[in-house]
Structure 1
Amino acid sequence: MKKKSFSPQNTPSDLDTPGSRIRAARAEANLSIRELAALSGLTPEAISMIENGVHPPSLKSLRKISTRLNRPIYYLGCFEALPEKTFGERFRKARLFRGLTKDEAANKLGVDPKSILNWETDKVSPAKKQLSKVNHFLIIIIDN
């Protein structure tokens, strides 16, 4: 089977969606959809649906793809564009920047997963005893 070639015309100029960023990173790596699928453990159909914006990538899929394309998960997920107006929005953005599920973030912070959900929906704020860990968690370090 002939490997599909990618030209600058095939690469999206606006990289404002996870699909467009994944497609561009895949093209830069000179990988076909099938090759990326084989490397990431996803199906070619799943990669195609993600790239075409039919289905947003799950955090688990983004992790696999970011590892194989050697791109940060926050970049491929477009997480820098997430709002930060409330504590819940800032917390969710920090969690996603790290590529963590709610359960993983809860485990890392030593809290119940329901706490994470309540924080992210701004239903409650962290207790005083949790503030130090949570404030540290909110610091996002981006390697350029």
Structure 2
Amino acid sequence: MKVSPPSLRRLSKVLCVSVAFLGCFEKLPESTLGERIIKARFYYGYTKREFSALLGISERTLYEWEHDRKIPPPTPLNDLSKYLAVLMKE
């Protein structure tokens, strides 16, 4: 059964646990920047639409970053770094 990121967020609040705990995302790959972006987005329980809005970019741009087709420029990369930091805490 698949659960949407917003449902995971709601469930994590009710159970007082992290989205990462519920999602078991620790085994997702993170060898490329794109994989790290996807993993961080999942850890926070954001959809592509929500995450791209937080970063002030289009969903298409996020797709390009997540699939390693484009590299984020410095300003969005700085914004991304606070989300990617969660991967360092594993």
TM-score when normalising by structure 1: 0.55
Q: Report the Cα distance in structure 2 between the residues aligned to 1:71 and 1:103, rounded to whole angstroms.
A: 24
Q: Residues 126 and 66 (structure 1 numbering): CA distance in 2 closer, same or farther, change over 3 Å? A: same
Aligned length: 88
SS at match of 1:139: helix
Runs of 4+ that moved beyond 4 A: none
CA contact 2:6–2:46 (8 Å) conserved in 1: no
Q: Which amino acid is the alignment partner of residue 129 of structure 1?
A: T
Instruction: Please identify which structure carries the higher helix content.
Output: 2
Q: Which amino acid is the alignment partner of residue 72 of structure 1?
A: S
Percent of counterpart pairs with the same letter?
Answer: 38
Pair 1:114 & 2:57 matched: no
Pair 1:61 & 2:7 matched: yes
* Equivalent residue, structure 1, for 2:20: 74
Where structure 1 has 5 or more consecutive residues not aligned to the other structure, the ranges are 1-54
* 1:60 to partner: Cα distance: 2.1
TM-score when normalising by structure 2: 0.84
Where structure 2 has 5 or more consecutive residues not aligned to the other structure, the ranges are none
Larger-Rg structure: 1
* Equivalent residue, structure 2, for 1:139: 85
Q: Report the Cα distance in structure 1 between the residues aligned to 2:29 and 2:69, rounded to whole angstroms.
A: 17
* 1:81 to partner: Cα distance: 1.8
Root mean square deviation of aligned Cα: 1.6
* 1:124 to partner: Cα distance: 1.1
